[in-house]
Structures are given as C-alpha cells and as structure tokens.
C-alpha cells in the first residue's frame, strides 16, 4: 500500500511540474488564492476529483486554499428566490487538488472570458 501512495505522489509531482509551465494555470491559481466574489460575475471550474474518470463542472462564489494539501475548497451558495441575492446557506462544496483543476472561466454579463 505504501508503494502505491509513493507512486501517486510521484505522479502528482510530475503533473505539477508540467502545469507550472502553463501561464494560464499559474494565473488561475493566483486568482483563487486572492479570490474576491463579484455579484455581476459567474465563476466556474472544470476539474476531476481523485479517481473520477469524467470532469465535473462547478459554479462557485467562495474559494479557500488549503496549503497543507495543496488543494482548494470551492463553495456555492443558494440564491434567495425573491431578491436573487446569495444567502448564507451552502448549496454545494467541492475540494480539488490544484493539479486536478483543468479550466477556470469567469462569465460576465453574458460574455465568457477564459482565465
């Protein structure tokens, strides 16, 4: 079992070495660490959790970086039906290692901007 963990760690390091040469990916990681939600924008990530074969699309309003695990926790909140404003009630959460984040997009007033 220990050899399997070591192999996974090596694979993760190899993937990280590839990703750090991608300016878009590096920019996304920095934006997540300094994330400030803006009400007129929609934030979306595409990523894979651990052993999933398919990527998952996830909309969020809050990001927290966990340095010990090199991962991010993305949180989405429910909207108030009357006002359309976000409530404090959590709709969904997803935790992704930073090497498992494939794409980050910000949609602004009907215009999509890849980051």
Range of the domain at 24: 2-114
Question: Domain count of the chain?
Answer: 1
> What does the block give as tokens for 23?
């300016």
Q: Is the pLDDT of residue 11 over 80?
A: yes
- What percentage of the chain exceeds 90 in pLDDT? 56
Closest by CA to 24, choosing from 94, 95, 106, is: 106
How many CA atoms within 13 Å lie on the side-chain side of 106? 13
For the stretch 47-94, pLDDT in tens is 987 777 788 999 999 999 999 988 999 999 998 888 878 899 999 999
Instruction: Name the E strands within the chain.
Output: 41-47, 56-60, 62-66, 71-79, 86-97, 101-108, 111-114
């Amino acid at each position: 079992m220990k050899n399997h963990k070591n192999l996974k760690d090596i694979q993760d390091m190899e993937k990280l070495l590839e990703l750090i040469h991608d300016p878009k990916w590096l920019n996304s990681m920095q934006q997540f660490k300094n994330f400030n939600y803006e009400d007129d924008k929609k934030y979306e990530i595409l990523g894979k959790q651990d052993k999933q074969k398919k990527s998952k699309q996830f909309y969020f309003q809050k990001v927290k970086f966990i340095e010990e695990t090199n991962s991010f926790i993305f949180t989405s909140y429910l909207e108030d039906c009357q006002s359309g404003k976000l409530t404090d009630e959590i709709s969904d959460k997803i935790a992704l290692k930073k090497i498992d984040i494939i794409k980050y997009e910000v949609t602004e007033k009907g215009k999509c901007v890849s980051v």
